[in-house]
Amino acid sequence: MRVLVLGAGFGGLELTTRLSEALGDDADVVLVDQADGFVFGFSKLDVMFGRTIPEAVHHRYADIVKPGVQFVQATIESIDPQAKRVETDAGPFEGDVVVVALGADLHPEATPGLVEGGHDFYTEAGAFALRDVLAGLDGGRVVVGVTSTPFKCPPAPSETALLVHDLLSRRGLRDRSEVALVMPLPVPIPPSPVASQALLAAFEERGIEWHPQRLVRSLDPDRKVAVFADDTEMPYDLFLGVPVHRAPEVVAASGMTVDGWIPVDPLTLETSYPDVYAVGDVTSVGTPKAGVFAEGQAAVVADAIIARSRGGDSAGYDGRGICYLEFGDDRVAKVDVTFVAGQAPFGDYEDPSEALAAAKGEFGTSRIRRWFGRDWVAHPTA
Ligand SMILES: Cc1cc2nc3c(=O)[nH]c(=O)nc-3n(C[C@H](O)[C@H](O)[C@H](O)COP(=O)(O)OP(=O)(O)OC[C@H]3O[C@@H](n4cnc5c(N)ncnc54)[C@H](O)[C@@H]3O)c2cc1C
């Protein structure tokens, strides 16, 4: 049984690793991605705020050496879910089972003025370029804003506002600066009221302006103002934006999407096409777009494929995810939320601590160890 995995992000890497761990050389997995390596979303913040360097957070796919797995670096140009076949710039590939894990594409150019007058911090290029911009920042009004929904990792804009405050404070620039956070949501993390309360208290304590339920529609680079959907405006000296998210064009063109994303069975992650699954940000499964959820969904699909290959049963998706939240001052909080269709999300929250910062570090290094078979130093001191 050949398994064709489209996309080597959080979902694709976890799926491939599980299949290889369980089936060894009997696995027949082809993993396709256009990039030459993987970067964690949270590593983008680490680079941007000068805690590490781009080279230290880039994990080369060429280093993947796993029994039963072949990595192909190629751009997928079309997907035929009926035939379970893709065309790529390296030729066609077919699978008995296909798993679409192509994530969400980011479009800074879709927000007028963002490329010319602001900075996006969600793309690798945008976040890495911000490292120099923030290093040279001399104070002023910094606005962190979201330009559309849905967007990945809903806590990331809040983390960014807190880390901007931290950076300005450490450099003695906070007194002559303002930090504002503009979000389309009523509270910072709607599925977790207790984490939202902790964040709102932290914003208040640090003098970070909180502007809920507002979307930035455009920037006017000449006047240095962000323009909202109702035509009201907010001035900025430095704008840090979350860009528009869309399913990759190749997914939209495949006919698999409904309202922009791939619908799946929330328990099995099956699409409406037989033997075609989808996991992670590319789906509309009902969990937030975050790596931990992509990973949990990939585990369920892996178990189903292993059960099919070896016999036995597999469990359904439980909707659970753990998210680490940067509060600044080298402290990290933890949110644990479970999403079950038809129920309100439920979970726990742990206050920021240095111990949780270490746990977040281990979250990253343990994945790199399993996915790439090597140790990782996220924050080299050199
Ligand atoms: C600033 C920031 C901070 C974040 N922090 C966290 C965090 O702390 N915790 C967390 O859980 N999540 C976090 N996230 C979110 C997380 O990065 C994503 O939700 C996660 O990567 C989604 O996994 P995925 O497998 O669905 O897609 P991705 O990881 O995005 O992988 C998709 C892959 O598909 C490939 N691809 C796309 N189109 C094509 C094509 N046509 N041909 C070939 N390959 C293609 C891409 O190159 C990519 O490698 C953060 C995101 C950002 C931006």
Task: Give the Å distance between the CA of 341 and the centre of ligand 1.
Answer: 23
Sign of the Cα torsion 38, 44, 46, 50 reads positive
How high does pLDDT run on average in the chain? 96
pLDDT in tens, 360-378: 999 999 999 999 999 998 7
From the CB of 303, is ligand 1 less than 6 Å away?
no
Q: Closest ligand 1 atom, CA of 75?
A: 42
Q: In sequence order, what DSSP letters do the residues of 317-347 get, joined into one string?
A: P--EEEEEEEEETTEEEEEEEE--TTS--EE
Please state, for a pLDDT cut of 90, what percent of the chain lies above it. 95
Instruction: Kindly state the tokens that stand for 94.
Output: 């077919």
Task: Give the Å distance between the CA of 34 and the centre of ligand 1.
Answer: 13
Sign of the Cα torsion 77, 80, 81, 83 reads negative
Query: Which residue, chain included where needed, has tokens 């800074």?
Result: 108
**Residues whose CB is less than 8 angstroms from the CB of residue 266 and which lie 6 or more positions away in sequence, other chains included:** 285, 286, 317, 319, 341
From the CB of 153, is ligand 1 less than 6 Å away?
yes
292 contacts 155 by C-beta, under 8 angstroms? no
| Nearest CA owner, ligand 1 atom 31 | 9
- Looking at the predicted structure, is the pLDDT value of residue 207 above 90? yes
Q: Closest ligand 1 atom, CA of 279?
A: 26
From the CB of 304, is ligand 1 less than 6 Å away?
no
pLDDT in tens, 11-20: 999 999 999 9
Task: Give the Å distance between the CA of 11 and the centre of ligand 1.
Answer: 8
Site to probe by mutation for ligand 1, drawn from 79, 152, 163, 334 as the one with most ligand atoms within 8 Å of Cβ, is 152
333 contacts 198 by C-beta, under 8 angstroms? yes
pLDDT in tens, 279-335: 999 999 999 999 999 999 999 999 999 999 998 888 999 999 999 999 999 999 999
| Nearest CA owner, ligand 1 atom 17 | 41
- Looking at the predicted structure, is the pLDDT value of residue 189 above 70? yes
102 contacts 251 by C-beta, under 8 angstroms? yes
Query: Measured between alpha carbons, how far is 25 from 69 in angstroms, rounded to an integer?
Result: 8
Tell me the pairing of strands 140-146 and 320-328. unpaired
Neighbours of 138 (CB within 10 A): 10
Neighbours of 373 (CB within 10 A): 12
User: Cis peptide before 235, with omega less than 30 degrees from 0?
Assistant: no
Task: Give the Å distance between the CA of 205 and the centre of ligand 1.
Answer: 32
Query: Measured between alpha carbons, how far is 304 from 306 in angstroms, rounded to an integer?
Result: 5
Q: Closest ligand 1 atom, CA of 104?
A: 30
Site to probe by mutation for ligand 1, drawn from 14, 36, 40, 71 as the one with most ligand atoms within 8 Å of Cβ, is 40
Residue 30: pLDDT band with limits 50, 70, 90: very high
From the CB of 102, is ligand 1 less than 6 Å away?
yes
Residue 168: pLDDT band with limits 50, 70, 90: very high
**Residues whose CB is less than 8 angstroms from the CB of residue 157 and which lie 6 or more positions away in sequence, other chains included:** 144, 145, 146, 181, 183, 242
User: Would you state the pLDDT for residue 381?
Assistant: 64
From the CB of 42, is ligand 1 less than 6 Å away?
yes
Residue 179: strand pairing partners: 142, 208
Residues in the chain: 382
**Strands of 233-235's sheet, edge to edge?**
216-220, 225-228, 233-235
User: Would you state the pLDDT for residue 382?
Assistant: 47
From the CB of 278, is ligand 1 less than 6 Å away?
no
Task: Give the Å distance between the CA of 337 and the centre of ligand 1.
Answer: 20
Tell me the pairing of strands 225-228 and 233-235. antiparallel
Task: Give the Å distance between the CA of 192 and the centre of ligand 1.
Answer: 22
Q: Closest ligand 1 atom, CA of 283?
A: 26
Task: Give the Å distance between the CA of 356 and the centre of ligand 1.
Answer: 23
Instruction: Kindly state the tokens that stand for 6.
Output: 């489209």
pLDDT in tens, 35-93: 999 999 999 999 999 999 999 999 999 988 899 999 999 999 999 999 999 999 999 99
Task: Give the Å distance between the CA of 280 and the centre of ligand 1.
Answer: 8
Provide the Cα torsion 352, 361, 281, 286; round to 10°: -40
From the CB of 281, is ligand 1 less than 6 Å away?
yes
Task: Give the Å distance between the CA of 283 and the centre of ligand 1.
Answer: 12
User: Would you state the pLDDT for residue 380?
Assistant: 77
